[in-house]
Amino acid sequence: MILVFGRTGQVARELQALADVTALGRDQADLCDPAACAAAIHAHAPAAVINAAAFTGVDRAETEEDIAASVNGAAPGAMARVCADLGIPIVHISSDYVFDGSGTAPFGPDAPTGPLGAYGRSKLAGEAAVRGAGGVHVILRTSWVFSAHGGNFVKTMLRLGGERDMLNVVSDQVGGPTPAGDIAAACVSIARQLARDPAKTGIYHFAGTPDISWAGFAREIFQQAGLSCTVADIASSQYPTPALRPANSRLDCSETARVFGLDRPDWRAGLKRMLGQIKAQEA
C-alpha cells in the first residue's frame, strides 16, 4: 500500500483515481504538525509514501511564510526521517519555484537554486529536509499543474474566457504545463521503482511539453474549448503580484526519462482529457 499525504489537491485526487492508495487529508495528518505526519506513517506501515500535499498559495506565502515553511519544509522532513527509519521510499513533489528563473535554458536537477520568494524558499527547505533524512527518496520537481479538480490556470481561463471577449495574459514567463494525472502516474511508477532499486534516489524533473508562455497556453485553452476570447500579450511588469514569478520555468527532464523511463507528457493531450472530464461532470 502507498500512503499519500494530501486528499483534495490536484495530484492527490488523481492518485486516488489511479492506484490503490490510502490518502490522508488535513484531519488525519495536519502538515502544520510534523509529528502528526510522522505518526501517521508509523500507524499505516506503508510500502511507500508520496507527499502530494503542500501550501500552494504563492502570494499568500509572502505574509504567511511561517505556515508555508512548516507545511512545505518541516513536514516533508519529518515524513522522510520516518521513511528512512522504516526503510521505505518517499516521493516528494517539489516545484520550479526553487529556481530564480534566469536565462532561457531548461534547468537541470543539479542547476543552482535561488528562489525568488517565500513559497520557493519553503519548497527548497523541504527538499533539503528530505535529502537530509538520508533515506531512499525522489524529489520530483514539476511546474504549472492543472486538472479538472481544484483551482488552476486552465479553470480560471475557462471561466474568464466565457465571460469576456479579450484577456491580457503574461507572455514573458515560459514553462511546461503539466497534467496532474501524469504527475500522479509518474509518482506511482517512481515509488515502485525505488522500492526495487534504491540507487535511483535523487532529484528529478517532470514537466509537460512543449514549453510555452502563459499567453500561448491560454490561446490553446480557448481553441480547444471553442471559446472566441482573444488573448493580448502583456509583460509581467503589467500584472504585478505580491510574489515574483520565475520568467523561465523550463525544466530539463531528460534524466527522468533515462532513469525511470518516464517521458514528458504532451500537455495538449492532457488539456483535451481535462476538458472532456469537465464536460462529463457538467452533463
Domain ranges of the chain: 2-282
User: Using CA atoms, how far apart are residues 154 and 176, in angstroms rounded to an integer?
Assistant: 13
Cell numbers for 103 = 536565462
pTM of this structure: 0.97
**pLDDT tier at 183 (50, 70, 90 boundaries)?**
very high
Q: What is the reported pLDDT for 18?
A: 87
Which residue numbers are catalytic? 119
User: Using CA atoms, how far apart are residues 62 and 59, in angstroms rounded to an integer?
Assistant: 6
| Paired sense of beta strands 178-179 and 248-249, if any | unpaired
**pLDDT tier at 140 (50, 70, 90 boundaries)?**
very high
C-alpha to C-alpha distances, 204 to 29, 88, 162, 182, 200, nearest whole angstrom: 26, 19, 37, 15, 10
Q: Given phi > 0 = left and psi -120 to 50 = alpha, else beta, which region is 279?
A: alpha
pLDDT over 80 at 278, yes or no: yes
pLDDT over 90 at 280, yes or no: no
Closest residue by Cα to residue 58 from 11, 118, 5, 4 = 118
User: Under DSSP, is residue 135 helix (H, G, I), strand (E, B) or coil?
Assistant: coil
pLDDT over 80 at 283, yes or no: no
CA 34 to chain CA centroid, Å, is 20
Mean pLDDT of the chain: 96
User: Using CA atoms, how far apart are residues 31 and 157, in angstroms rounded to an integer?
Assistant: 30
Mean pLDDT on 47-66: 96
Q: What is the reported pLDDT for 26?
A: 87
> What's the CATH number of domain 2-282, 2.170.190.11, 3.40.50.720, 3.40.1160.10, 3.90.1640.10?
3.40.50.720
pLDDT over 80 at 121, yes or no: yes
User: Under DSSP, is residue 27 helix (H, G, I), strand (E, B) or coil?
Assistant: coil
Q: What is the reported pLDDT for 171?
A: 98
Q: In what order do the strands lie in the sheet with 90-95?
A: 21-24, 2-5, 48-51, 90-95, 137-142, 202-205
User: Under DSSP, is residue 77 helix (H, G, I), strand (E, B) or coil?
Assistant: helix
Asked if 3 and 44 touch (Cβ cutoff 8 Å), the reply is: yes
Cell numbers for 58 = 504563492
pLDDT tens digits for range 224-264: 999 999 999 999 999 999 999 999 999 999 999 999 999 99
